[in-house]
Amino acid sequence: MSTSFEANFDGLVGPTHHYGGHSFGNVASTSNANKAANPREAAKQGLAKMKALADMGYKQGVFVPQERPAIGLLRELGFAGEDAAVLAAVAKTSPGLLANVSSASSMWTANAATVSPSADTRDGRVHFTAANLQNKFHRAIEHGQTTRSLKAMFNNDAVFAHHDALPMQAVFGDEGAANHTRFCHDYGKPGVEFFVYGRQHWGGETEPQKFPARQTREAGEAIARLHGLSADKLVFAQQNPAVIDAGVFHNDVISVGNQNVLFSHETAFLRQAAVYAELDAKLGGGLQVIEVPLAQVSVADAVKSYLFNSQLLARGDGRQNLVVPDECRATPAVWEYLQGMLASNGPIAELMVFDLKQSMQNGGGPACLRLRVALQEQELAAVNPHIWMNDQLFTRLNNWVDQHYRDRLTEADLVDPQLITEVRTALDELTQILHLGSIYPCQLS
C-alpha cells in the first residue's frame, strides 16, 4: 500500500458566478461576457466531478469560495453607507467595478497557491504560497482570503507552512499552480518542481505582444526560496510567447504533468527539447513525454477544447487517467487525436469526460478547478477531515446549493442587496458544514 498520495482540492463555485468577461487574454472569458450564468448548475457540475473522482478512490477535497461582492473593499475605495447604498452607488458610477468585486473566479483553485510537498522542502513541511494574481484586479483581491482558507484546511504548523502572497508588483506576478508542475517517481520521494513563466522582468528575452504574460520567472524563484527547494531539483522554462498571444494565458492551457508523464503541445515552451532534457535529467531519467503535434491539433483547437487544462491522475498499474471537459469531444481534431492516443497504448490508459460548461464558458476547465497537494499518510491525517468528499458531504453540499444558489445571474442582478444576504447566509452555513471556523469578512467584522 502506498503511504503517499496526491490529493486534489476543487474550488466550489460561489453564489455570484456570472459572466463578466474580466480576464483579458482568456478567450473563453471575454467571448462569453454578459451572458446569463447559472450559479446553481455551475456548483453542481463541480460537485459531480469531485464525487466521481472520490468514488474512484482518489483523495478529493473541497475548497471554499470567497465572499462576494467584496463590500469591504468598496468601502476602502470611498463608497459609504449601508450595504444597499454602497451597491447602488457603485452600480451607478462604476458598474464594471461592481462586476469585478462580485467575481466568483476563486473557484479556479489552480490559481490559489503554489504547493511544495514535504519531500522537496528543506524543513520537511508542506509549503503553501498564496498567489498574488496581480495582473487582474478581480483576482488580485483574493489572496488574503485564500490564505485564511488554506490555514483553516491545513491547520497544523508542525506539518504545514503558509506564506503570504509575493509583493503586489508586476515583477513578482504569480498565478499559482497553473504555472507549476511537479514530476516524481513517487509522491513521497523528492521530485522536480517545474516553474513555467511568461516573461523574465530582469534580463528577459522575447515577450508576448498581444496579451499579458501573467507569470514571471522572478516569482517562481522567490517561491522556490521560500519553500526551501533544492536548485538541483528545479527547472524553469519560458512559455512560448506566441501561444500566450493565441489565448494560452497559463501553462495549464498548453501542458499538464503528473508523476513522470508530461502531456504537452508541440508549441508549449521556448527551447522545448532542452526543457524536456533538463526535466528528464533532474528526475533521474524515465520522463515520458506525450507531445501533441501542431499538425494534428492547432493551438486554437487546444484553447477552444481545453485539451491540456485536464487532470492526469495516477492509477495502480503505473499508467494515468486523463480528465477532460466535454468540449474535447465536441472538437473533432482533438477527439480524433485522443482516440488515437488511447489506441497507442501509451502512458494514458483512460479518458474521463465531464460536463463543466458553466466553468468552461468563464475560461476554466478541469485543471483550473483543482489545487494539487502531495501528502504523506501522516500529513493526510493532519488535514481538516471535514473537507474530504464522500457520500454524506456530497448530499449535504448539493442540498446547500439548492437552498442558497440562484439558477440565473447576470451583471444587472449584482446590484440586488438581497444577493449579499444570500451569499453571507450561505457562506456562514458552509463554514459550519466544513468546520472551518470564522474565515470570512462577514464573520470577522
Per-residue model confidence as pLDDT tens digits over 409-421: 999 999 999 999 9
In the predicted structure, residue 23 carries a pLDDT above the cut 60: no
In the sheet that holds 192-197, the strands lie side by side as 180-183, 192-197, 234-238
Q: Could you tell me if 283 and 290 are in contact, meaning their C-beta atoms sit under 8 angstroms apart?
A: no
- Grid cell digits, residue 68: 462576494
In the predicted structure, residue 435 carries a pLDDT above the cut 80: yes
Q: Give the tens place of pLDDT for each residue, 392-407.
A: 999 999 999 999 999 9
Question: Catalytic residue at 138?
Answer: no
In the predicted structure, residue 132 carries a pLDDT above the cut 50: yes
Q: Could you tell me if 145 and 106 are in contact, meaning their C-beta atoms sit under 8 angstroms apart?
A: yes
Which residues, 6+ apart, have CB-to-CB distance to 382 below 8 Å? 154, 156, 158, 159, 160
- What number is the average pLDDT over the span 26-53? 81
Question: How many CA atoms does the CB half-sphere of 279 hold within 13 Å?
Answer: 28
- Grid cell digits, residue 130: 498564496
How much is the pLDDT for 364?
A: 75
Q: Could you tell me if 219 and 173 are in contact, meaning their C-beta atoms sit under 8 angstroms apart?
A: yes
Q: Could you tell me if 310 and 316 are in contact, meaning their C-beta atoms sit under 8 angstroms apart?
A: no
User: How many Cβ atoms are within 10 Å of 370's Cβ, its own excluded?
Assistant: 26
| DSSP notation for 95-136 | HHHHHHHT--GGG-GGGTEEEE-TTTSTTSSEEEEE---TTS
In the predicted structure, residue 145 carries a pLDDT above the cut 60: yes
Question: Torsions phi, psi of 172, nearest 5?
Answer: -115, 35
359 vs 287, which has greater pLDDT?
Answer: 287
Q: Give the tens place of pLDDT for each residue, 217-260.
A: 999 999 999 999 999 999 999 999 999 999 998 999 999 999 99
User: How many Cβ atoms are within 10 Å of 274's Cβ, its own excluded?
Assistant: 11
Confidence of residue 33 (pLDDT cuts 50, 70, 90): low
How much is the pLDDT for 26?
A: 47
Which residue in the list 18, 127, 227, 250 is annotated as catalytic?
250
- CA separation for the pair 368, 7 (Å, rounded): 15
Which residue in the list 41, 142, 175, 327 is annotated as catalytic?
175
- Grid cell digits, residue 288: 515520458
Which residues, 6+ apart, have CB-to-CB distance to 360 below 8 Å? 28, 306, 325, 327
How much is the pLDDT for 396?
A: 98
Measuring CA to CA, how many Å separate 362 from each of 35, 89, 357?
10, 27, 9
Query: pLDDT over 90 for what percent of the chain?
Result: 91
In the predicted structure, residue 24 carries a pLDDT above the cut 60: no
How much is the pLDDT for 34?
A: 66
Q: Could you tell me if 417 and 98 are in contact, meaning their C-beta atoms sit under 8 angstroms apart?
A: no
How much is the pLDDT for 363?
A: 67
How much is the pLDDT for 313?
A: 97
Helix/strand/coil for 295: coil
- CA separation for the pair 133, 203 (Å, rounded): 22
Confidence of residue 356 (pLDDT cuts 50, 70, 90): confident
- CA separation for the pair 270, 206 (Å, rounded): 10
Q: Could you tell me if 445 and 75 are in contact, meaning their C-beta atoms sit under 8 angstroms apart?
A: no
Residues making up the chain, counted from first to last: 445
Question: Catalytic residue at 175?
Answer: yes
Helix/strand/coil for 182: strand
In the predicted structure, residue 385 carries a pLDDT above the cut 50: yes
- What number is the average pLDDT over the span 16-24? 73
Query: pLDDT over 70 for what percent of the chain?
Result: 96
User: How many Cβ atoms are within 10 Å of 55's Cβ, its own excluded?
Assistant: 13
Question: How many CA atoms does the CB half-sphere of 100 hold within 13 Å?
Answer: 17
How much is the pLDDT for 359?
A: 76
- CA separation for the pair 223, 338 (Å, rounded): 35
How much is the pLDDT for 353?
A: 95
43 vs 19, which has greater pLDDT?
Answer: 43
Confidence of residue 205 (pLDDT cuts 50, 70, 90): confident
Which residues, 6+ apart, have CB-to-CB distance to 439 below 8 Å? 64, 145, 148, 149, 152, 431
**Class of residue 203 by CB neighbours under 10 A (exposed 0-12, middle 13-18, buried 19+):** exposed
Q: Could you tell me if 44 and 401 are in contact, meaning their C-beta atoms sit under 8 angstroms apart?
A: yes
- Global pTM reads 0.95
User: How many Cβ atoms are within 10 Å of 82's Cβ, its own excluded?
Assistant: 10
- What number is the average pLDDT over the span 172-186? 97
How much is the pLDDT for 30?
A: 52
- What number is the average pLDDT over the span 326-335? 96
DSSP 23: -
Which residues, 6+ apart, have CB-to-CB distance to 254 below 8 Å? 239, 240, 243, 248, 264, 265, 267, 268, 299, 302, 308
How much is the pLDDT for 65?
A: 98
Tell me which of 59-68, 362-371, 427-436 is least confident.
Answer: 362-371
- CA separation for the pair 104, 29 (Å, rounded): 12
- What number is the average pLDDT over the span 105-123? 97
Question: Catalytic residue at 17?
Answer: no
Which residue in the list 18, 41, 184, 368 is annotated as catalytic?
368
How much is the mean pLDDT over the chain?
94
In the predicted structure, residue 54 carries a pLDDT above the cut 60: yes
Strands 288-292 and 261-265: parallel
